[in-house]
Amino acid sequence: MTIMFNKHSDPAAAGPGNHRVRFADLHAGYPGRPVLRQLTAEVPALAMTALVGPNGSGKSTLLGVLAGVIDATSGQLRFSEGRPPAFVPQRGAVGDTLPLTVRQTVEMGRWGERGPWRRLNRGDRAAVDAAMEQLGVADLATRQLGELSGGQRQRVLIAQGLAQQSDLLLLDEPTTGLDPEARGRITALLTELVAGGTTVVQATHDLEAARAADACLLLSDGRLVGRGSPDQVLTPTALARIWQPA
């Protein structure tokens, strides 16, 4: 079988009302375990897109492909012009026992530019300061990451993503495990980021968060079963079919 995987800049896709990412006939997975099958969709620029589906539907795998941490096995993946994506993993992927302060955690967002543990320059420090201010965690700078509440910790991880200064932010389950107040605050922060010029893609099974998005991709068993606005995609019939299969 001939495998074609193109990942390159697509200038024609740039600009408001167009698309930040496009993929066609995308397949991906792990050795001996295919996950994504024949996915074709677009991620609109300057908007919030929710990847929705039950556990095991392929949300995190698709996010990993978009982030460049998982290789597609076939298909096409195209990004419009812009910086490489910034990826914010699930909170559980970052150990509570790591001896890191909040500021050190956010500074890790500059490693892609500077290299691990390298001294930050003035521009790096300014990017870190701006990200922490924007996410409201500057006053937590010296606190240990493991001391924070779930909502505080999630804001720190999003600040780490912002410190990468990308216009494409990818988040894996940013509101999972948070109380309603913290979930609402994270959703409001993401909405503000979009208004400020960032394209946001979040994998989630939080339907309230998904309904606050501009666009929605609904996944089931590694296949795309719905795409469009949340009102179009997250219908009672579609959700019953996905979460309660016959």
Residue 181 phi, psi (nearest 5): -65, -45
- Give 99's pLDDT tier (boundaries 50, 70, 90): confident
Please give the pLDDT value at position 217.
98
Instruction: Tally the domains of the chain.
Output: 1
Task: Give 203's DSSP letter.
Answer: E
**In the numeric block, which tokens belong to residue 78?**
């195209």
Per DSSP, the three-state class of 170 is: strand
- Answer yes or no: is 150 within a domain: no
- Answer yes or no: is 244 within a domain: no
Helices vs. strands in the chain: H and E counts, helices first:
9, 10
Residue 2 has pLDDT above 50, yes or no: no
- Give 3's pLDDT tier (boundaries 50, 70, 90): very low
Please give the pLDDT value at position 6.
44
The residue segments making up the domain with residue 21 are: 1-84+205-230
Residue 11 has pLDDT above 80, yes or no: no
- Answer yes or no: is 246 within a domain: no
Count of CB atoms within 10 A of residue 191's CB?
15
| Average pLDDT of the residues in 32-51 | 96
- Answer yes or no: is 153 within a domain: no
| Average pLDDT of the residues in 12-28 | 78
Residue 87 has pLDDT above 90, yes or no: yes
CA 205, CA 159: separation in Å to the nearest integer? 22
Please give the pLDDT value at position 177.
82
pLDDT digit string, tens, across residues 143-172: 998 899 988 989 999 999 999 999 999 999
Please give the pLDDT value at position 246.
44
Please give the pLDDT value at position 198.
94
| Average pLDDT of the residues in 125-132 | 96
- Answer yes or no: is 66 within a domain: yes
199 against 17, higher pLDDT: 199
CA 53, CA 160: separation in Å to the nearest integer? 26
Alpha helices in 115-244, H assignment, sequence order: 122-134, 150-162, 180-195, 207-211, 230-233, 236-243
Of 14-23, 140-149, 208-217, the poorest mean pLDDT is in 14-23
Please give the pLDDT value at position 98.
72
Alpha helices in 54-177, H assignment, sequence order: 59-67, 102-107, 111-114, 122-134, 150-162
pLDDT digit string, tens, across residues 65-85: 999 999 999 999 999 988 899
CA 47, CA 44: separation in Å to the nearest integer? 6
| Average pLDDT of the residues in 136-147 | 94
- Answer yes or no: is 2 within a domain: yes
- Answer yes or no: is 144 within a domain: no
- Answer yes or no: is 238 within a domain: no
Please give the pLDDT value at position 97.
63
CATH number where 40 lies: 3.40.50.300
- Asked if 84 and 112 count as a contact pair (C-beta separation under 8 A), the reply is yes
Instruction: Read off the pTM.
Output: 0.88
